[in-house]
Amino acid sequence: MDIFLQQIINGLTLGSVYAVVALGYTMVYGIIQLINFAHGEVVMIGAMVAFSVITVLAGTALPPVLIVLTGILAAIPACMLVGYAMERIAYRPLRGAPRLAPLITAIGISIILQHVALLVWSRNPLAFPQIIPLASFEVGGAIVTGVQIAIILTSVLMMGGLTLMVYRTKLGIAMRATSQNPQVAGLMGIDIDRVIAFTFVVGAALGAVAGVMVGTYYGVAHYSMGSLLGMKAFSAAVLGGIGNLAGAMLGGILLGVVEALTAGYIGDLTNNVFGSNYQDVFAFLVLIAVLVFRPSGLLGERVGDRA
């Protein structure tokens, strides 16, 4: 029974991260029907930038919390810049093009970002400094670390903040209108270009924080860490219903929990034929199953007319 609880806790932690990253995918798809392949790389850059900042400051006498905060505050604008540049330079000119073109572009950007990161931060996995000493708690036989609590809390905060922004502010209404029907939104006086750029930027900011969380949780950062994470987060977004914010959050958490439970139990269930190294297969299988059997996802997709 304590594996179960432990895996639930691990799953919730992992799932929160998936959820935050999934929000980036789902917002962009909802508004311009593009799978932003490069979003995973944005998350990676967030982790890397934070890594650099934290590593540099770690030697100083500043309090650890402040150092980490500075790292996050450095990562966010860096990722926002990357997100904005992507949209402006590569995606905006292709807005009327058939789906294949922006998809290929996204792959290209993903490759570029990965290898720029490789150049800047080297090929080797980097040890992500975990400098804030946080207590662990024991709950019903399972261990919850402070990091896990921090991640879950941060994620909840960000998800809440985003929801507030999308449903209570003018900009949020503009985003929702543009994603439903860009032409009419434009006629109503909404600056579509700015709204779309904003969507990318917000997603990137969320991704930056997610990157820091992932780096801290696993203690490692690597130039290729974005691709698998991105795939899984995208699966989560689809699972919940693409374009649907609540769906992304639900999908992320669900995917995280189920993945953790699978990793925990799969050895026992299959008599050790399949071990936990098949964990990644599982995420892909979920993705495929959802797309084939219930393409609109659990909570229904929110994708507008693409003229």
Partner 1 sequence: MKHQGQVAGRGANIFAGPQAKWVGVALIALALAGLPFALAAAGTAWVRITNLAILFVFLSLGLNIVVGFAGLLDLGYIAFYAVGAYAYALLASPHFNLHLPFWVILPIGALVACVFGVLLGAPTLKLRGDYLAIVTLGFGEIVRIFLNNLSQPVNITNGPQGISRIDPFRIGTFSFSQTETLFGLVFSGPIKYYYLLLVLLLLAIVINLRLQHSRIGRAWEAVREDEIAARAMGIDTTRIKLLAFAMGASFGGVAGGMFAAIQGFISPESFVLVESVMVLSMVVLGGMGNVWGVVLGAVLLSFVPELLRYTVEPLQKSLFGRSVVEPEVIRMLLFGLALVLMMLYRPAGLLPSAVRKRELAKSE
Question: Segment contacting partner 1 (CB under 8 A): 93-101, 156-164, 167-175, 203-211?
Answer: 93-101
Structure tokens at 188: 């109503």
Q: Does 69 bind partner 1 (CB under 8 A)?
A: no
Structure tokens at 54: 């934290």
Q: Which of 81, 79, 55 is nearest to 68 (CA)?
A: 55
CB of 111 to partner 1, least distance (A): 3
For partner 1, the binding residue among 93, 141, 160, 219 (CB under 8 A) is 93
Q: d(Cα 126, Cα 50) in Å, to the nearest integer?
A: 12
Which one, 61 or 100, has the nearer CB to partner 1?
100
Q: Which residue has the tokens 């990161």?
A: 117
Q: Does 105 bind partner 1 (CB under 8 A)?
A: yes
Q: Does 90 bind partner 1 (CB under 8 A)?
A: yes
Q: Which residue has the tokens 């903040």?
A: 161
Q: Does 258 bind partner 1 (CB under 8 A)?
A: no
**Partners of 126 in the beta sheet?**
221
Q: What is the DSSP letter of 59?
A: T
3-class DSSP assignment, residue 185:
helix
CB of 216 to partner 1, least distance (A): 27
Q: Does 31 bind partner 1 (CB under 8 A)?
A: no
Which one, 96 or 133, has the nearer CB to partner 1?
96
For partner 1, the binding residue among 269, 280, 294, 305 (CB under 8 A) is 280
Say if residues 68 and 147 touch (Cβ distance below 8 Å). no
Q: Concatenated DSSP letters for 251-293?
A: HHHHHHHHHHHHHHHHHHHTTTSS-GGGHHHHHHHHHHHHHHH
Site for partner 1 in 115-144 (CB under 8 A): 115-116, 118-119
Say if residues 69 and 212 touch (Cβ distance below 8 Å). no
Q: Does 272 bind partner 1 (CB under 8 A)?
A: yes
Q: Does 296 bind partner 1 (CB under 8 A)?
A: no
Site for partner 1 in 205-224 (CB under 8 A): none
Which one, 14 or 286, has the nearer CB to partner 1?
286
Q: d(Cα 76, Cα 48) in Å, to the nearest integer?
A: 11
Size of the site for partner 1 (CB under 8 A): 48
Q: Does 305 bind partner 1 (CB under 8 A)?
A: no
Q: d(Cα 259, Cα 283) in Å, to the nearest integer?
A: 7
Applying CB under 8 A, the residues found at the interface with partner 1 are 33-35, 90, 93-105, 107-112, 114-116, 118-119, 227, 231, 234, 238, 272-275, 277-278, 280-281, 284-285, 287-288, 291-292, 295, 307
